[in-house]
Amino acid sequence: MPTVMEKELAHKLIDRLPQQATWDDLMHEIYVREAIERGLADSKAERTKDVKEVRAKYGLPM
């Protein structure tokens, strides 16, 4: 479920971008922030997996 955007946070995000920032720069910042928020929500709801379990699934070294 999408999170509700707080306009003040959006303004702060834009204000932190350099003067020559592009739309792509803004979209990247939005994507990163949303990914972090989703990860934190998953962690809080205990929807995470141990690194060893993920590495084993993909045959990666421990």
pLDDT digits 0-9 by tens, 33-56: 999 999 999 999 999 999 999 999
pTM for this predicted structure:
0.70
- Report CA torsion sign: 42, 43, 46, 50: positive
Domain-located, residue 61: yes
pLDDT digits 0-9 by tens, 5-21: 789 989 999 999 999 99
Mark 34-46 as b/e (b = at least 16 C-beta within 10 Å): eeeeeeeeeeeee
Domain-located, residue 3: no
Domain that holds residue 36: 23-62
**What is the count of structural domains for the chain?**
1
Q: What confidence score (pLDDT) does residue 1 get?
A: 57
Domain-located, residue 36: yes
